[in-house]
Structure 1
């Protein structure tokens, strides 16, 4: 076989895992093989934005599989528009022109290169691990999968040598800040990184008097001042449970101890994360609050391509502000971080309990203050097991859902 000419890209290039002494530079390749995508949660807020990116870069991607819940009308449109051969749905879709598969089989389908996990809760947990075991890279927008089973998911990636690519703007920001600083972004050594800082908008209730919080309506909670997101994540943003989940997620994605992860309220949502290095310097990633940008970065990695997102105008942005998280305003934040620090099945349990109480609050069946109260009770009453197998994780979730329903029934 003839020697490969210098500068010729290797197939399936893995720049984030290449050896320190590699001389292959990062560059924009004009001719690339299109990447086959399986998108889990294709009809949700993130899933539809993933497809926006696919539309903007049609030569880069082929949609091989789509998985949806009950929005069959939108699923049909997407299957037809992108001529998708495989689909998965939890509802009776009545779609006969495409091949229907279970979610686990979908991520293993032929020609799938990258699996995007944009589902809610942990419904795609088994499929995420199956994708990694099948040799697929996984782009994760779903926080709960890593919260509930971070050890299992990261162990699967390590076992198969596949990548977990973050779609969250905060984790994408960390990833971008540490690229080029270390040979392996999935593990940040103490001698390199002092700490990381995640920013939070503060959610829809950030300016509401604290004494009014127990009486706030669902409608008020859903009026996010910056981001356009789904119902559950918008409520989680108001309680800062979403940010606590991101702390746990960062712990697993970058192998950073909890004590080295900080959170600040940044109302403008221009700086998405900051990495503080051991030499006293810091890097921050700035961008407009638009999820299309971190989605495109993950999908086109290792390339960075032009996008329709305008640059940040610092003059127009004006003053950038930062504040500490107030535990009186955001009691649920500390409870969820505590569950992450305890480890074992505590995170899986609190994630499942949060699903239940947020669903009840969204349905206007319980008050806003019941969210933090339910999570506190869940942590206090949970009997943990080691989260080293799926059975233990699923058992903890089942217990937490039942506990939360019983607690909320008694609390009414």
Structure 2
């Protein structure tokens, strides 16, 4: 069967794009250098974040900026040799985070997030993946009353404006809900709507298997070989060249390299992150963000997963897991943390844009070329949503969300 669409990148976003197209009867090839779900989509906290209606803004408080500059905290680290390339993008990120500019960005962002559970739910059911998903939310744990009160006020505002639900737990209630905690915290904010996934990579694999069951083709290949060919697009794979009328770039943090080669100058940058699993202790029932230290402790099939915040470094730069070392120390203050499962921590990259919104839609100067990347921390959450939106755009259907705010032409 002739291929209608090439989807380049088999993370959550690419896999969902391919699946949403296959569900609509298109012939699709999903192309990646690795097996599906082994890169960015594998190394996250495994939370489908329905409450994340507003994206991560650049810190406005000078104390937080100084903490980053002097590497005082766990949540941010950077390599000095990466700063010349990333600093202009971070300046634009800071500019977009000013309150008057941030407000419309958050509104656009929330219109995608509001569909994340319903769109995942359809694919989870079709893929037979319900045993991977827990629909009990997750918690933000606080060590001080002041920080808890500040978060509670913001949560109440988000609930009023967006309808995302939460509950507050004092120290006693949190200790009862999480008996594995051996430190008493001030309390927690429990986001009730999100879902947690015990193996994020496995969920991507289930979606890809559903794609295959619908007739989709998975091939190993290098997206760098993509070129226009005879009114369509061609990519080289281990199975030989594949040709299609349409091609979708869903390469996450690697999208910048290919789009630059094709002549686009999109303001993209990359944040790196680490995780490691620990098995043997009592652990936690639900994922918890240690909100004042900047790490997540998430129960996974492989053990308790400790994740870090952001590291600014070149893709392919040597691993510098100083954040994970600090995160492990902070986690040991809260739970019994046995020896790590992996000999070395996992390292991955997150694809970001300067205005915090993903890039979804047609490439303005190439017929049949489409973009779906730049989801930052929420590619795992938004994969089915942006995949459906792009599928509807490719086939000329009425989009279920207005795609204009995510067009690459906004830059």
Name the structure with the higher helix share.
Answer: 1
TM-score by length of 1: 0.28
When you count strand as a share of all residues, which structure comes out higher?
Answer: 2
TM-score norm. by structure 2 comes to 0.28
Name the structure, 1 or 2, with higher relative contact order (CA <8 Å, separation 6+). 2
